[in-house]
Amino acid sequence: MSNVLSVPGSNLLTLNDIPEAYRPQENHFNQYLIGGELKTWEGEMAEVYSSIHTENKNGEMGPTLLGSVPDMESEPALLALESANKAFDRGKGEWPTMRVRERLNCLERFADKMKAHREEVVKLLMWEIGKNLSDSQKEFDRTVDYIYDTLDAYKKLDQKSAKFEKEGGIHAHIRRSPLGVVLCLGPYNYPLNETFCLLIPAIVMGNTAVFKPAKHGVLLITPLLKAFQESFPAGVVNILFGRGRKIAQPIMKTGQVDVLALIGHSSSAVALQDEHPNKNRLRLVLGLEAKNPGVVLPDADLEHTVKECISGTLSFNGQRCTALKVLYVHESIIDEFNKKFSEAVDNLKYGLPWEEDVFLTPLPEPSKPQYIKDLIDDATSKGAKVINKKGGQMTENYIYPAVLYPVDDSMSLYHEEQFGPIIPIIPYKDINEPLDAMAASEYGQQVSLFGRDVTKIGPLIDIMANLVCRVNLNSACQRGPDVYPFTGRKNSAVSTLSVFDALRSFSIRTFVASKDNPYNNEILESLLNSNESNFVSSDYIL
């Protein structure tokens, strides 16, 4: 079978066929970061393969070996936790008691160092998870921007705290304080961006962290370990490699984690919470799965709607928590919509991530093509049809997006978050059908509403706003821009993320209170003038 689906000229034979700038170098990385030291791992290593097939040393085509990373055990994982605990030092650590200004300096130093690794990280994003070149570049740049935006947001937040308040005869100096030790786990679809959107706000607020990269998209973290080591005090960021079972579970079991920060599946989040013995100690910052619907009203502009639905359902092959995972289309326009949408899907360019204008790319999870095929088989055995010509064409690392119609609740595709290239279309007669389905769903992240008659759209927005957390009007669902709140109802999220909200999610309001009398006021004033406390300070960061 060929690596590339009927795309002339794209068949890959050897690494030499790949433009030099995108050719991978094997990277066997045997280090990890604990207590400010880059330690060498002497144990088992796990090989990292790309699902992109090239010719191997024996002249056979197969997944490309990209390198290896430590397959770490529970013992070093617990040492990493100990190191994070030591750096927090029950609130006494240098990092949690440091002036905000100094923490921001550390973060700025990190961002400057990180920028030097753009090329390597972008190349690894393409090879490890098959993200196309422009989206890989966007992921890197968006992450760096997120760090700089975080610096600004924290400055603003801190500026507001540089003062005393007085109510009911009590002076109060209110700030946001860290929560403690954070276990940070990110997803494979945004292995850099989404992980850092947890890790960066977590540490800048004064927490310390243990971080384990996702299973796919792991080598791309390795160039950044040194930057973490050089930018932050020892133990603030600890980075491990390996399986969640051997690393995350034993850490949670200790009961010493204060925040579980995870973007991934709710089943992993629940399993990890279950390990923690002190449920109320554990705070949660979770971005979980979703089944965002697109609802197309009879008067929607179909050209525009199809364009947004393509980007919503199939950007990065549908492997986004925010992807449109089901389309409800009014029966009066369904035939026209299906025709236009299927044609648009069949016109998408499939190829290797660095090829020009490529939209569809190989899937990183080896089992995904078969999983999608099983969803197709299940739906077609219950009455749905694949309505686009190329739908379901398969290779070892890909399956061409399949548009399934009509889908109903007897099919697995109706219920499961497919996270891949398959699009269920459900016809509706009465708008209450999609509304009821949204209300009954386990998920509640976002919706896309397509239409133009405000007398219809207005009341629908009012209802949908009570079922999800973002109503996208004639626009695909998405997380960004990162200043907007990213969250979800039900099984889709716990806590809110955005540049600003993440700073709140990883901290708690704490204040120093003092009754208004001459004795206390004199002490407060001399405290402020003395610089003895980093918390009680009217330091204004410009």
Name the residues that contact ligand G3H, by CB under 6 A. 189-190, 194, 320-322, 478-480
Q: 458: buried, middle or exposed (CB in 10 Å: 19+, 13-18, 0-12)?
A: exposed
To the nearest whole angstrom, how small is the minimum distance from the Cβ of residue 203 to ligand G3H? Answer: 20
To the nearest whole angstrom, how small is the minimum distance from the Cβ of residue 193 to ligand G3H? Answer: 8
Main-chain dihedrals φ then ψ at residue 239, nearest 5 degrees: -120, 125
The whole-angstrom separation of Cα 245 and Cα 253 is 11
To the nearest whole angstrom, how small is the minimum distance from the Cβ of residue 49 to ligand G3H? Answer: 23
To the nearest whole angstrom, how small is the minimum distance from the Cβ of residue 478 to ligand G3H? Answer: 4
To the nearest whole angstrom, how small is the minimum distance from the Cβ of residue 338 to ligand G3H? Answer: 25
Measured from the CB atom, the residue of 255 and 480 that comes closer to ligand G3H is 480
To the nearest whole angstrom, how small is the minimum distance from the Cβ of residue 479 to ligand G3H? Answer: 3
> How far is Cα of residue 500 from the mean position of the Cα atoms in its chain?
16
Measured from the CB atom, the residue of 247 and 477 that comes closer to ligand G3H is 477
The per-residue b/e assignment along 151-175, b for 16 or more CB within 10 angstroms, e otherwise, is bebbeebbeebeeeeeeeeebebeb
Measured from the CB atom, the residue of 173 and 320 that comes closer to ligand G3H is 320
Measured from the CB atom, the residue of 139 and 158 that comes closer to ligand G3H is 139
CB neighbours of 343 closer than 8 A, spacing ≥ 6?
A: 388
Q: How far apart are the first and last CA of the chain?
A: 60
Cis peptide leading into residue 191 (ω within 30°): no
To the nearest whole angstrom, how small is the minimum distance from the Cβ of residue 475 to ligand G3H? Answer: 11
Look at residue 344 and give its three-state secondary structure.
helix
DSSP annotation of 484 reads: S
> Is the distance from CB of 209 to CB of 80 less than 8 angstroms?
no
CA atoms within 13 A on the CB side of 55: 10
Measured from the CB atom, the residue of 307 and 340 that comes closer to ligand G3H is 307
To the nearest whole angstrom, how small is the minimum distance from the Cβ of residue 162 to ligand G3H? Answer: 33
DSSP assignments along 187-210, one per residue: -SSSTTHHHHHHHHHHHHTT-EEE
DSSP assignments along 406-418, one per residue: S--TTSHHHHS--
Measured from the CB atom, the residue of 64 and 322 that comes closer to ligand G3H is 322
Main-chain dihedrals φ then ψ at residue 396, nearest 5 degrees: -65, -30
To the nearest whole angstrom, how small is the minimum distance from the Cβ of residue 27 to ligand G3H? Answer: 26
Measured from the CB atom, the residue of 277 and 480 that comes closer to ligand G3H is 480
Measured from the CB atom, the residue of 50 and 478 that comes closer to ligand G3H is 478
Measured from the CB atom, the residue of 51 and 193 that comes closer to ligand G3H is 193
CB neighbours of 306 closer than 8 A, spacing ≥ 6?
A: 337, 340, 341, 344
Strand partners, 399: 394
> How far is Cα of residue 444 from the mean position of the Cα atoms in its chain?
17
The whole-angstrom separation of Cα 30 and Cα 302 is 53
Measured from the CB atom, the residue of 190 and 414 that comes closer to ligand G3H is 190
The whole-angstrom separation of Cα 35 and Cα 27 is 24
Which parts of 341-391 are beta strand (E)?
Answer: 385-386
To the nearest whole angstrom, how small is the minimum distance from the Cβ of residue 290 to ligand G3H? Answer: 8
- Only one residue has tokens 């909200």, namely 501
Measured from the CB atom, the residue of 256 and 478 that comes closer to ligand G3H is 478
User: Which helix or strand (DSSP H or E) is residue 446 part of?
Assistant: strand 446-450
To the nearest whole angstrom, how small is the minimum distance from the Cβ of residue 37 to ligand G3H? Answer: 33
- Only one residue has tokens 């389309």, namely 327
> Is the distance from CB of 327 to CB of 294 less than 8 angstroms?
yes
Measured from the CB atom, the residue of 175 and 320 that comes closer to ligand G3H is 320
To the nearest whole angstrom, how small is the minimum distance from the Cβ of residue 211 to ligand G3H? Answer: 18
To the nearest whole angstrom, how small is the minimum distance from the Cβ of residue 42 to ligand G3H? Answer: 35
> Is the distance from CB of 262 to CB of 252 less than 8 angstroms?
no
Which has the closest alpha carbon to 129: 184, 68, 48?
48
Measured from the CB atom, the residue of 311 and 393 that comes closer to ligand G3H is 311
To the nearest whole angstrom, how small is the minimum distance from the Cβ of residue 321 to ligand G3H? Answer: 3
Measured from the CB atom, the residue of 491 and 537 that comes closer to ligand G3H is 491
Main-chain dihedrals φ then ψ at residue 53, nearest 5 degrees: -90, 135
Q: Are strands 507-515 and 170-178 parallel, antiparallel or unpaired?
A: antiparallel
Bin 422: left if φ > 0, else alpha if -120 < ψ < 50, else beta: beta
